[in-house]
């Protein structure tokens, strides 16, 4: 079996890429996908630790994360639709009602 | 053999996740993300978690991504105009690099703690992964499991309300 | 009946609630006035029941305390909402509710058609409530609540015609003067509480408990301080020197208000308070001397001013101040019973006089209004010969005037003579007694003079109105005359319950019911004076008492005769007198310039000080600090607001940065 470090570093790289995506993209759906990427990177660490510790708690947790991701997808995408209906755009730079 | 396979799949995963971020067209990003999910499913198999690998493919690559692509097409989102300033890109990348650096630093110096369990490969093979996960889920984590149903219900109601004609 | 004592203040309170909340909607004057007067009448009936039950008990048992609930309880300090019934408070309840009812009734007629009719009756009921609370409260704090309440109502009612600047000013003046006094009351209360609690561990403000611990109050500086602080409160409320100047100005209010608040009830609160705390005052000869001197000086001083006023209500106002001075003189010579007796008789005849003057003003106002004349309806120089036009008013007014002048047989004679005799014969002040008696006697003569001057100028002689206006004068309606008749009746017979001993013996052993009735309240002071008081009772012969009585009657008759001579026989003489002594007349006419002196000595320095604090301190320093802080905050936020772009991704960026920094700190510390 491979050393756990491999998985962890891979997950760290993917998490960082997801972060960069969230911070630099303007399209809300892409940002949403980047968040999914970050969640999956975390999932990978969960499973890796779970396997190496011989403890199933981490894997159960991944289950819950998936559930949350599914719920998030439903609500998040509904939000996108509502946003698009109101503003004809899902560019986050157009969402600036919080501005003075 | 295993490490070569790992490296290849890891390279694919990293490249496709970079593509998620860099592609201008959201459809391309979404497809790259599907690719990443498949790679992750591969890792799950390598980590002796076949059930989760299957779930990953079915729920993530199947359901969630289809939903996302569906919405992209429904809203007819065009490619990004790329007007966003170079400042933001640089700053975002710097932050990302910092995150990476800090995590790796932490990995290098930290040691693995946590409660060790008794599950090993032999057990997984003899009982089957589904049975082990299922037993955990319906005994120790029964209450959280039930609560997830409430979460999903809330998500359904929320989605219906938000996507209604007028807010 | 005692159990229902709480009903007495409750009825007027209900009246306040109804008229205050719905009076504007009700509109019907009969209903509003009926509710107000009915509420007070209900209290009067309950008070009567309590009086009869009280009289049926033997003297030592004539007290009852009804605690409704504990109001404040904090450590050693405890104050109840409770009522105390004893002969003194019962008498006050009778006076307040009885006269209060008559004046409510009178007000229905007098205030007819006034704007804010409901407001007037709300205030009047609120006043009655507060006054009843004041006289029936079983502890000092509850008394103080009533004390403040009557002050507030007095302010509201003086300023009833608030669109007139003079009325508003008068209200403010009364309020400020009262506040000074109230300050003294509070200081006295605190000092007494602290003194008894600190030195004897008796933490109480309940009257009966205080009275039962009266032995602990020993003569000394602290007792004198307490007594004088309370007396300061009394000077404010009861218009004594130096705080009397608000009362004449208070005549800006409606006349029934002057009758109820500024003659019969509220201004006697100070007298009531001192009578209630007689066990403190009897321990402090210094305080008694101060009170006696202030009382005598006020009686004399106010009487001199009264002789030169032309406004009918102002004469009565100074007369009230003067009569209150008599009451304090009585308190100061330890004759608490006599003071309370004079309080009662004065309430009768002074209420009658004020209501009578109100009737006259009412008629004058209508007559002058008919002629579109803007002459002052309160100025006696516009009146004259009213007796033919207003027979009932005249008759009642004359009876009350005779009563106040101290003609034997009428109420004022008995009470005033008792006070003068006590001033002369009391064992407290030694050689000062002569002076006190002299001041009182001269004031009595002046009283007789200016009161008959008023009667002669108003009702006798020739009218100074035009024929047409005079023709329009008419007698007031029954709601006004009935209270007048009742009060005049009381002014005549009210004194017979307190016939002095020497006179009673002549009249076939008629006892002094009043003194006997109040005995339990002042029993402690009487005993204290008999056993181990300072100075023994001087032996005064009965002949001396008769002699002094004769002298005071002679003085009163002299005053009347002088008034008759000057204003009926030789009406031109006063003008001649004025032109002979212009300085004296001007000084008296302008009230000895006391208001001007106060303005110069206190009001203007206060104003200057206030102006300085406003323009020099408040505007520059306080506002400077406040505005400075505000502008600094605005400057900084002007810089920081650029961070708030309103762009979601900027916030996401800040959040990520924050995470990086925090994790960095955690990792690399």
Angle between helices C478-493 and C336-370 (to 10 degrees): 150
Q: What is the pLDDT of residue B80?
A: 60
C667–B106: do the CB atoms touch at under 8 Å? yes
Cα(A15)–Cα(C441) distance, rounded to whole angstroms?
107
Distance of CA C526 to the CA centre of its chain: 27
Rounded to a whole number of angstroms, the distance between the first and last alpha carbons of chain B is: 56
- Among partner residues B102, B105, B106, which is closest to C660 by beta-carbon distance? B102
pLDDT in tens, C235-256: 999 999 888 889 988 888 899 9
Contact C36, C121 (CB under 8 A): yes
pLDDT > 90 fraction of chain C, expressed in percent and rounded: 41
CA of A78: how far to CAs of A31, A82, B64, in Å? 15, 6, 13
- Please, what's the b/e burial string for C206-221 (b: 16 or more CB within 10 A of its CB; e: otherwise)? bbeebbeebeebeeee
Question: At C218, is the secondary structure helix, strand, or coil?
Answer: coil
C558: pLDDT strictly greater than 80 = yes
B6–A2: do the CB atoms touch at under 8 Å? yes
CA of C177: how far to CAs of A57, C137, C233, C273, C450, in Å? 82, 24, 10, 18, 27
A96–C647: do the CB atoms touch at under 8 Å? yes
Residues of A in contact with C645 (CB under 8 A): 96, 99
Question: At C47, is the secondary structure helix, strand, or coil?
Answer: helix
- Best mutation site among C641, C646, C654, C659 for testing chain A: the one with the most A CBs within 10 Å? C646
| Residue with tokens 């209906």, as numbered in its chain | A85
Segment (H or E) for C66: strand C64-74
ipTM of predicted complex: 0.90
Peptide bond connecting C242 to the previous residue in cis, omega within 30 degrees of 0? yes
Contact C7, C132 (CB under 8 A): no
- The answer to pTM > 0.90 is no
User: Facing residues of C137 across strands?
Assistant: C83
The pLDDT tens digits along chain B (167 residues) read 888 999 999 999 999 999 999 888 889 999 999 999 999 999 999 998 999 999 999 988 888 999 899 888 888 776 665 555 677 788 888 999 999 998 888 888 877 777 788 888 888 888 888 888 898 889 999 999 999 999 999 999 999 988 886 65
A53–B88: do the CB atoms touch at under 8 Å? no
Token pair belonging to C579: 């032109």
Q: What is the pLDDT of residue C98?
A: 93
Question: At C83, is the secondary structure helix, strand, or coil?
Answer: strand
Q: Is B104 on the interface with A (CB under 8 A)?
A: yes
pLDDT in tens, C131-187: 999 999 999 999 999 999 999 999 999 999 989 899 999 999 999 999 999 999 999
**Mean pLDDT, residues C630-636:** 94
Tell me which residue of C403, C427, C412, C420 sits closest to C342, measured CA to CA: C412
pLDDT in tens, C95-112: 999 999 999 999 998 888
Q: What is the pLDDT of residue C300?
A: 92
Cα(A50)–Cα(B116) distance, rounded to whole angstroms?
9
pLDDT in tens, A71-83: 999 999 898 888 8
Tell me which residue of C287, C289, C267 sits closest to C279, measured CA to CA: C287
Shortest Cα distance, chain C CAs vs residue B79, angstroms? 19
Cα(C376)–Cα(B11) distance, rounded to whole angstroms?
110
Q: What is the pLDDT of residue B150?
A: 94
- Please, what's the b/e burial string for A54-75 (b: 16 or more CB within 10 A of its CB; e: otherwise)? ebbbbbbbbbbbbbebbbbbbb
Cα(C286)–Cα(C144) distance, rounded to whole angstroms?
25
Q: What is the pLDDT of residue B39?
A: 94
Tell me which residue of C225, C284, C331, C280 sits closest to C534, measured CA to CA: C284
Contact C127, C96 (CB under 8 A): no
Q: Is A18 on the interface with B (CB under 8 A)?
A: yes
CA of C254: how far to CAs of C13, C270, C365, C521, in Å? 22, 23, 13, 35
pLDDT in tens, C268-306: 999 999 999 999 998 888 999 999 999 999 999 999 998
Which architecture does CATH list for B1-79?
Up-down Bundle (1.20)
C646–A98: do the CB atoms touch at under 8 Å? yes
Cα(C434)–Cα(C328) distance, rounded to whole angstroms?
17
C1: pLDDT strictly greater than 90 = no
How would residue C41 be classed by pLDDT, with cut points 50, 70 and 90?
A: very high
Q: What is the pLDDT of residue B84?
A: 58
Backbone angles phi, psi at B110, to 5 degrees: -75, 165
Residues whose CB is less than 8 angstroms from the CB of residue A82 and which lie 6 or more positions away in sequence, other chains included: B162, B163, B167
Domain ranges (residues) in chain A? 4-94
C200: pLDDT strictly greater than 90 = no
CATH class of the structural domain A4-94: mainly alpha
| C252 CB neighbour count, 10 Å cutoff | 24
Q: Is C663 on the interface with A (CB under 8 A)?
A: no
pLDDT in tens, C518-538: 888 888 888 888 776 554 455
Tell me which residue of C248, C261, C253, C251 sits closest to C305, measured CA to CA: C248
What value does the mean pLDDT of chain C take?
88
Residues of C in contact with B98 (CB under 8 A): 660, 664
């Amino acid at each position: 079996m491979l050393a756990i470090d491999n998985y962890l570093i891979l997950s760290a790289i993917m998490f960082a890429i997801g972060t960069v995506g969230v911070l630099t993209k303007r399209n809300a759906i892409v940002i949403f996908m980047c968040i999914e990427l970050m969640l999956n990177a975390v999932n990978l660490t969960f499973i890796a630790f779970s396997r190496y510790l011989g403890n199933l708690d981490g894997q159960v947790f991944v289950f819950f994360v998936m559930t949350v991701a599914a719920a998030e997808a439903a609500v998040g995408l509904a939000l996108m639709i509502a946003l698009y209906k109101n503003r004809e755009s899902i560019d986050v730079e157009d969402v600036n009602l919080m501005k003075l | 053999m295993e490490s070569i396979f790992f490296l290849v799949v890891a390279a694919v995963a990293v490249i496709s996740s970079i593509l998620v971020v860099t592609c201008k067209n959201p459809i391309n990003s979404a497809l790259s993300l599907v690719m990443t999910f498949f790679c992750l499913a591969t890792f799950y198999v390598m980590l002796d978690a076949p059930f989760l690998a299957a779930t990953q493919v079915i729920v993530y690559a199947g359901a969630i991504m289809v939903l996302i692509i569906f919405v992209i097409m429904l809203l007819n989102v065009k490619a990004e105009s790329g007007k966003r300033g170079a400042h933001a890109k640089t700053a975002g990348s710097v932050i990302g690099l910092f995150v990476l650096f800090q995590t790796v630093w932490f990995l290098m110096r930290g040691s693995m703690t946590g409660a060790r369990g008794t599950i090993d490969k032999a057990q997984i093979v003899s009982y089957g992964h589904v049975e082990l996960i299922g037993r955990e889920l319906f005994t120790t984590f029964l209450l959280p499991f039930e609560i997830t149903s409430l979460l999903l219900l809330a998500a359904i109601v929320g989605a219906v309300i938000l996507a209604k004609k007028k807010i | 009946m005692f159990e229902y004592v709480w009903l007495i203040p409750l009825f007027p309170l209900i009246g306040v609630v109804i008229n205050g909340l719905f009076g504007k909607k009700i509109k019907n004057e009969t209903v509003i006035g009926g509710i107000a007067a009915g509420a007070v009448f209900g209290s009067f009936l309950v008070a009567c029941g309590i009086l009869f039950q009280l009289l049926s008990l033997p003297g030592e048992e004539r007290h009852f305390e009804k605690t409704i609930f504990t109001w404040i309880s904090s450590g050693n300090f405890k104050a109840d909402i409770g009522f105390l019934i004893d002969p003194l408070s019962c008498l006050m309840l009778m006076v307040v509710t009885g006269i209060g009812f008559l004046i409510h009734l009178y007000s229905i007629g007098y205030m007819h058609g006034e704007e804010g009719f409901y407001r007037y009756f709300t205030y009047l009921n609120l006043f009655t409530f507060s006054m009843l609370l004041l006289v029936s409260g079983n502890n000092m704090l509850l008394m103080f609540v009533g004390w403040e309440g009557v002050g507030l109502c007095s302010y509201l009612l003086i300023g009833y015609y608030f669109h007139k600047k003079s009325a508003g000013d008068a209200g403010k003046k009364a309020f400020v003067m009262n506040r000074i006094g109230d300050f003294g009351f509070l200081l006295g209360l605190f000092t007494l509480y602290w003194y008894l609690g600190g030195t004897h561990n008796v933490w109480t403000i309940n009257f009966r408990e205080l009275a039962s611990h009266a032995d602990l109050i020993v003569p000394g500086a602290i007792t004198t301080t307490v007594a004088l602080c309370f007396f300061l409160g009394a000077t404010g409320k009861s218009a004594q020197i130096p705080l009397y100047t608000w009362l004449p100005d208070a005549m800006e209010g409606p006349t029934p208000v002057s009758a109820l608040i500024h003659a019969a009830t509220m201004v006697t609160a100070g007298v009531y308070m001192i009578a209630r705390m007689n066990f403190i005052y009897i321990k402090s000869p210094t305080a008694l001397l101060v009170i006696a001197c202030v009382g005598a000086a006020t009686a004399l001083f106010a009487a001199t001013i009264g002789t030169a006023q032309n406004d009918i209500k102002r004469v009565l106002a100074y007369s009230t101040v003067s009569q209150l001075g008599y009451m304090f003189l009585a308190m100061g010579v330890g004759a608490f019973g006599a003071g309370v007796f004079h309080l009662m008789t004065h309430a009768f005849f002074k209420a009658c006089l004020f209501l009578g003057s109100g009737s006259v003003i009412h008629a004058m106002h209508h007559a002058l209004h008919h002629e579109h004349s803007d002459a002052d309806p309160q100025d006696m120089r516009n009146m004259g010969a009213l007796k033919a036009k207003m027979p009932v008013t005249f008759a009642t007014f004359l009876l009350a005037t005779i009563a106040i002048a101290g003609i034997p047989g009428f109420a004022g004679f008995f009470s005033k003579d008792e006070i003068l005799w006590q001033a002369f014969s009391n064992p407290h002040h030694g050689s000062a007694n002569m002076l006190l008696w002299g001041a009182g006697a001269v004031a009595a003569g002046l009283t007789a003079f200016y009161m008959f001057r008023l009667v002669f100028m108003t009702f006798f002689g020739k009218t100074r109105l035009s024929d047409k206006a005079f023709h329009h004068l008419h007698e007031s309606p029954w709601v006004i005359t009935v209270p007048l008749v009742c009060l005049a009746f009381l002014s005549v017979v009210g004194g017979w319950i307190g016939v002095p001993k020497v006179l009673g013996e002549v009249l076939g052993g008629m006892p002094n019911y009043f003194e006997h009735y109040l005995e339990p309240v002042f029993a402690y002071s009487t005993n204290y004076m008999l056993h181990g008081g300072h100075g023994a009772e001087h032996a005064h012969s009965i002949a001396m008492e008769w002699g002094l009585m004769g002298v005071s009657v002679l003085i009163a008759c002299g005053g009347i005769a002088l008034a008759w001579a000057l204003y009926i026989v030789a009406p031109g003489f006063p003008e001649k007198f004025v032109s002979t002594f212009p300085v004296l007349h001007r000084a008296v006419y302008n009230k000895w310039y006391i208001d001007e002196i106060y303005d110069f000595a206190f009001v203007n320095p206060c104003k200057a000080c206030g102006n300085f604090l406003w323009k020099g301190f408040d505007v520059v320093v306080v506002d400077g600090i406040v505005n400075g802080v505000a502008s600094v905050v605005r400057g900084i936020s002007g810089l920081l607001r650029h961070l708030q772009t309103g762009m979601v991704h900027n916030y996401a960026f800040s959040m990520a940065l924050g995470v990086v920094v925090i994790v960095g700190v955690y990792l690399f510390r």
